[in-house]
Amino acid sequence: MKMQKLLLALILTASSLTAAHAAGEGTAVGVKPDARAEVQSASRTLVVGDDISVGDRLVTDRSGEVQLLFADQTRLVVGPQSSLLIETYLLRNSNTVDRLTVNALAGTFRFISGRSPKSAYQIKTPTAAIAVRGTKFDFIVTRGQTFVMLYEGALSVCTAGNNCVGLNNRCEVAEASGSGALLYEQDNPDRPPIAMSFRYAQVQSPLLRDFRVAGAQKCTKNETNTTPSSLSDSSGEVGGDKGTVVRQRSPNSP
């Protein structure tokens, strides 16, 4: 009898986990092959309409891309050669979430916040924590560095050492690395070469209409006629001079 009860409990647990995963926290509304979701040792190829759940690691190849829509209307793009883990998704009701946490491991991304409270969103990378305050932005994760370009709203970017910068103006760029957090304001001559490396700022045609940002290409304009360069060279570091450290503060500071 005890063995039967144990088997029944295991079956019910497995069924509930399967149902929770099947329900999904997000939906892949746009997919370009090859893109897949990995969970532990399992992997599945993504197609339009697939559910995305907590624990899913989304991985794309050179031509792959995933556009995700969450229940609160948050939109997230996982670009080519990228990897992102859905860590936390706590649904408050049908319209908002208490917590949405993603860990962007490598690649290029776009994030457009939805109807949930500002405090609900948390984006982590190997070198940064991004606190969203109702906004639209792109970010790039390279080896040892994270770059963020703001389009609308505001956000802060902090390193593991609590070195933070705030982005409050359109087209500002932030960098976070082991050396600290840097802010490139719009008139900084070092900003345009970095801005040119944001894929979706230059070309938005692969994205569905609701994933596009009006006027994003204006943020790549190079008024100083600096020759654009790629963010990553063979060492994974950004070429050219660094920006200026604007300020240092604790992530809990106002």
- Please give the average per-residue pLDDT across 62-71, as a whole number: 96
Q: Does residue 19 lie within any of the structural domains? A: no
Q: List the CATH number of the domain containing 36.
A: 2.60.120.1440
Q: Picking from 41-50, 183-192, 219-228, which range would have the lowest pLDDT averaged per residue?
A: 219-228
What radius of gyration, in Å, describes the C-alpha atoms of the chain?
Answer: 19
Position 254 scores a pLDDT of: 35
Position 46 scores a pLDDT of: 97
Q: Does residue 36 lie within any of the structural domains? A: yes
Running DSSP on this structure, what letter comes out for residue 226? P
Position 1 scores a pLDDT of: 52
* Mean model confidence pLDDT for the chain: 82
Give residue 212's domain range. Answer: 24-220
* DSSP run (H or E) holding 66: strand 65-70
Q: Does residue 189 lie within any of the structural domains? A: yes
Q: Does residue 10 lie within any of the structural domains? A: no
Q: If we measure between CA atoms, which residue out of 124, 192, 129 comes closest to residue 157?
A: 129
Q: Picking from 12-26, 76-90, 115-129, which range would have the lowest pLDDT averaged per residue?
A: 12-26
Structural contact between residues 62 and 81, judged by C-beta atoms closer than 8 angstroms: yes
The terminus-to-terminus CA distance of the chain in angstroms comes to: 59
Q: Does residue 8 lie within any of the structural domains? A: no
**DSSP reduced 3-state for 122:** strand
Q: Does residue 226 lie within any of the structural domains? A: no
Position 24 scores a pLDDT of: 66
- Please give the average per-residue pLDDT across 200-222, as a whole number: 94
Q: Count up the domains in the chain and report the number.
A: 1
Q: Does residue 215 lie within any of the structural domains? A: yes
User: What would the pLDDT profile of 176-192 be if each residue is shown by its tens digit?
Assistant: 999 999 999 989 999 99
Q: Does the pTM of the predicted model rise above 0.85?
A: no
Q: Does residue 199 lie within any of the structural domains? A: yes
Contacts of 143 (CB under 8 A, 6+ apart): 106, 232, 236
